[in-house]
Amino acid sequence: METDGQILGYVKHETGGANNRKAELTDQFACRLCGSTSCRRRLDGWNRELIECSECSLIFVPRRYHLGADKERRRYALHNNSMHDAGYLKYLRGFRRELLAVPISKPSVLDFGSGRECVLTRLLRDEGLWAHAYDPLYDIGKDALQRRYDLVVMCEVIEHLRNLRDELALVRRCCVDGGYVVIRTETYTDVTDFGSWWYAADPTHINFFHPKTMSVVAQFLQMKIRGGNRRNIFVLG
Ligand SMILES: [Zn+2]
């Protein structure tokens, strides 16, 4: 388990040396989620390579194309993810309704990868929920990992995770037994053209999930898919 702030994570494998070259090769040929080596390369039309896993259908971007943390933060700063952006608030309020539908009364919530402004955390607190934010990219909420939550939320986060299995293991540890994990990410389908798909155009997006990939994520978390629209919202429990 790599624990040194790798969640939206970075750096460790990008500084050269024999071990790092090995990590790079591993990254290219083994699936970041299921570990299968049955992967094939494809092009995405955005000057990046993609690796597609034939076992779990995760499509992921090799490490050498990942942005450094500074570039990543600059890219996020272009998004209007603040309390002052009406469109973003509307979007999050819709998502909040999905979270409140989880069959636990007044769940404690961890907003995993909250972003700098922790907008979802604040909206959930406005509902009277006990909610905590965590985002190592902005050095937010390391202490929040000291306890466990009824509900762990990853809203537009999982597509950014570099050490996917480690981060999912952390999510699992932060969730109580009988709790829920809600994941929001756009999934691709068999007819998605990555060359024109807006989601693939974002250089900070490095993992792309088919709806069936989410079953593997659920399995990894020792959960099942319980709800959500199963297109861009998945409720696991
Ligand atoms: Zn896989």
DSSP string, 106-127: S--EEEET--TT-HHHHHHHHT
Domain that holds residue 122: 68-236
Residue 91 domain flag? yes
Q: How far is CA 232 from the centre of its chain?
A: 12
Residue 117 sits in a domain of what CATH number? 3.40.50.150
Stretch 31-51: mean pLDDT: 87
pLDDT score of 98: 87
pLDDT score of 6: 29
What is the rounded CA–CA span in Å between residue 76 and residue 8? 12
Stretch 18-30: mean pLDDT: 54
Q: How far is the CA of 121 from the centre of ligand 1 (A)?
A: 31
pLDDT score of 79: 72
Q: What percent of the chain has pLDDT over 90?
A: 64
Average pLDDT, the chain: 86
Residue 113 domain flag? yes
pLDDT score of 100: 87
Q: How far is the CA of 33 from the centre of ligand 1 (A)?
A: 5
58's enclosing H/E stretch is: none
What is the rounded CA–CA span in Å between residue 222 and residue 69? 31
User: Which residues neighbour ligand 1 (ion) by CB within 5 Å?
Assistant: 31, 33-34, 36, 53, 55-56, 58
Q: How far is the CA of 153 from the centre of ligand 1 (A)?
A: 22
What is the rounded CA–CA span in Å between residue 88 and residue 199? 17
Q: How far is the CA of 62 from the centre of ligand 1 (A)?
A: 14
In this predicted model, what pLDDT tens digit does every residue of 163-206 receive, in sequence order? 999 999 999 999 999 999 999 999 999 999 998 999 998 999 99
Stretch 102-108: mean pLDDT: 94
Q: Which residue has the higher pLDDT, 37 or 78?
A: 37
197's enclosing H/E stretch is: none
Stretch 146-166: mean pLDDT: 96
Confidence category of residue 109, pLDDT binned at 50, 70, 90: very high
Q: How far is the CA of 231 from the centre of ligand 1 (A)?
A: 19
Residue 17 domain flag? no
Residue 32 domain flag? no
Residue 51 domain flag? no
Residue 46 domain flag? no
Q: 89: how many CB neighbours lie within 10 A of its CB? A: 17
Stretch 125-150: mean pLDDT: 95
Residue 62 domain flag? no
Q: Which residue has the higher pLDDT, 78 or 181?
A: 181
Which residues pair with residue 208 across a beta bridge?
59
- Give the count of domains, the chain: 1
pLDDT beyond 60 at 139? yes
Q: How far is the CA of 83 from the centre of ligand 1 (A)?
A: 37
Residue 221 domain flag? yes
Q: Where are the beta strands (DSSP E) in 59-193?
A: 59-60, 109-112, 131-134, 149-155, 175-184
